[in-house]
Every structure is written in structure tokens, then in C-alpha cells.
Amino acid sequence: MKRILTGDRTTGKLHLGHYVGSLQNRVKLQDEYDTFIILADIQALTTHFERPELLNKSIYDVAIDNLSVGLDPNKITMFLQSKVSAIAELTVFYSMLVSVNSLRHNPTIKTEAKQYGYDDLSYGFLGYPVSQTADITFCDADLVPVGDDQIPHIEQARKIARRFNDLYGKGKVIIKEPKPLLSNTPRLIGLDGNSKMGKSLGNAIYLSDAVEDVNAKIKSAATDRNRIKIKDAGNPDICTISKYHEVFNPSEYKNIYEMCRNADVGCVACKKLLAEKINCLVAPFRETRAYYEEHKSEVRDIILAGSEKANMVGNKIVEDIKRAMNIHIE
């Protein structure tokens, strides 16, 4: 069985962007692939090292978010990054194979550095694509379902794998080059209509939001600001709500698009319809979430058992990698 590795930083609750960008594919593919879900608490430190208490709390939030959308704990392996020592070891080895300049030029690193206001980057932040390469390769993953902000990182991982194999493989593939899997919505825009929906950006509809929260957030979302009166024709091309209809209400999207342009539907009605669609999508997630919120010790057991399995898999792979590098004693 081919393997998937994907996951999320434990920096807060997951949102609809995660769902359409990656979680939906995780659920769809869990029968076909041996699926590893990483709760990336070390990677979370790269931007949140001053708030470790938030990261700790977020472990359960992110785990329950993943379970709530339909990942089956009997099929997948969900583990905590900090519990898998193979990842830390591989990060050190890979760090020799990457130039600082190539990391500095990584477009996602640049965007995120700006977003966090860093001008003098920490070693850990600059190097997180390297530790992410270790996340992906410690279990020999084939496929990584991600949003499009992750594409430069997967490309970096592929380069490291190639360089490693060239240097140490003696004609054999020691480290597989992972492939990204993008969804139909590789970047869901945030409620502000500017940047991607992000859990650290305050522009998200969370999977754990109650019906009233969803309704209120949609109600205050940005639309075409030039449309003042209901009789004014709208421009759906610059409206966040229209973009959400395309994703969450695809069967009615075209119709609503035309109605907006012809002033046949007002923003209030259009938003109400969207909120209903989103609440309908999230309703079954809420039920599963309620179960796991009541049974947190089950979640803990799932993570601990997953981490144990990840360690077994990782230790074996690290041994092979070290042997290829001649880091061993006869």
C-alpha cells in the first residue's frame, strides 16, 4: 500500500480552508493509502515558540478536527511530531544538503516571514522546510495532500531526496521523492477577502464554529463594496461570498453569479443561502466532534498509539539512511 503523509501545525483550530485544501482528500484516500497524519507541534514552535501553552492545547483541537471530518482512527496513524525522534535525526542530516540561500528564496517562507513581521529570521523558522522534508520522508511517503502554499516545500523535499540519492544511493533510491496532491480548491481565501484563510490570521470559519458563529461570520464578510442598494448590479468576481458559493454551493453557483450581476438577488439573501450550505456541510462533523470532546482519553490513546507506530516505522528507515551515509559502526 502506498503511503500518505500530511498534517497540520498545532497552532489553533482547523478551518474550512484546511478542509477543502487537504482534509477532504485525506478522508477520501484513507482506504487507498496507508495514511499518516502529523500533529506538527515542533513546526508550530517556529512561529509560536513564545506561546508553548497554546501549542499544547492545540494538539487536541487539531486531532479532534481531523477525526471530526471522518478520518477513521482504525485506518490512519495520527502521531505527535515531537514524539518521533527519527524526524529530528533526519532534519540534522538533511540540513547539510540545503543552502541557506535556497531557503531564503522560498516564496512561502518569504510570505510568512512578512506576515509575522520577521526581518531577522530564526534558524528554526528559515529551516522549517527541511524539517518538513524529514516529516514526509521518515515514513517513506509517496503522496502529500496539501494546499498550494506548500508546493515550494514539497519541491524542496524532492530536491533533498534527489541530492541524497545522488550522494549516497550508489545508483539506488534510498529516499523517495514525494508528490504533492492539490485539491480543487488549493487556496481558500479568508473572510477578509485578502489573504488565504489561515488559522493564525483571524479570517477563518472554523470547523468547530457553532451555527450562530458561521451565520455571524458570513453576515459580516466582505462583498462588492460598490453595491450599495439592492437594485445595484453586483460584481461577483470581487466578492468573497461568491467565491465561497463556488466551493460550498457548486450546483447553484452559476445561477447565483448571474443573479448577482443582474441585481436579482441581494447580499443578505445570498449570504443566508451560503451560511445554510456551510452549516449543512459541517453538521455531521459537529456530531463526531461532540463524541470526541466527551472522550478525550480516547483521542490521547489514538495519538500515543500512532506515535508508537510512527517511531517503529521511522527508526527502521533512519537505520537504512544512516547506513547509506556510512554513519554506523561495524
CA distance 244 to 232: 21
- Positive or negative, the Cα torsion across 107, 113, 117, 118? negative
Contacting residues for 51 by C-beta, under 8 A, at least 6 apart? none
What's the CA gap between 280 and 293, in Å, rounded?
A: 20
For the chain, give percent helix, strand, coil, nearest 5. 60, 10, 35
Q: Which stretch binds ligand ATP (CB under 6 A): 130-138, 182-190, 245-253, 268-276?
A: 182-190
- Cβ proximity to ligand ATP: between 102 and 195 the closer is 195
DSSP 82: G
Residue from the set 200, 235, 311, 315 that interacts with ligand ATP by CB under 6 A: 200
CB of 87 vs ligand ATP, minimal distance in Å: 16
Judged by CB under 6 A, does residue 64 bind ligand ATP?
Answer: no
Contact status: 9 vs ligand ATP (CB under 6 A): yes
Q: By the 8 A CB rule, do 310 and 317 touch?
A: no
User: Residue 244, class by beta-carbon neighbours within 10 Å (0-12 exposed, 13-18 middle, 19+ buried)?
Assistant: buried
**Is 179 or 316 the residue whose CB approaches ligand ATP more closely?**
179
Q: Which is nearer to ligand ATP, 246 or 264 (CB)?
A: 246
Q: Does 188 bind ligand ATP (CB under 6 A)?
A: yes
Q: At what angle do helices 296-324 and 85-95 cross, to 10 degrees?
A: 40
The conformation of residue 206, written as its DSSP 8-state character, comes to B
Smallest distance from the beta carbon of 97 to ligand ATP, in angstroms? 23
CB of 299 to ligand ATP, least distance (A): 18
Could you say whether residue 37 binds ligand ATP (CB under 6 A)?
no
Cβ-based neighbours of 237, under 8 Å, separated by 6 or more? none
CB under 6 A: which stretch of 193-201, 254-262, 290-298, 309-317 binds ligand ATP? 193-201
- Least distance from ligand ATP to the Cβ atom of residue 160, Å: 19
Q: Does 98 bind ligand ATP (CB under 6 A)?
A: no
Instruction: Report if residue 198 touches ligand ATP, rule: CB under 6 A.
Output: yes
3-state secondary structure of 323: helix
**Contact status: 146 vs ligand ATP (CB under 6 A):** yes
Partners of 143 in the β-ladder? 4, 179
Shortest CB 250 distance to ligand ATP, Å: 16
Length of the chain: 330
Residue closer to ligand ATP, measured from CB, 163 or 243: 243
Q: Which stretch binds ligand ATP (CB under 6 A): 16-24, 240-248, 288-296, 306-314?
A: 16-24
Contacts of 156 (CB under 8 A, 6+ apart): 98, 102, 103, 106, 129, 130, 132, 133
**Residue 279 binds ligand ATP, judged by CB under 6 A:** no
Closest distance of CB 22 from ligand ATP, Å: 4
Helix/strand/coil for 179:
strand
Place of cell 534510498: 174
- Closest distance between ligand ATP and the C-beta of residue 262, in Å? 30
Of 143-151, 206-214, 268-276, 289-297, the segment contacting ligand ATP by CB under 6 A is 143-151
Which residues lie near ligand ATP (CB under 6 A)?
A: 8-9, 11, 17-18, 21-22, 146-147, 149-150, 186-188, 196-200
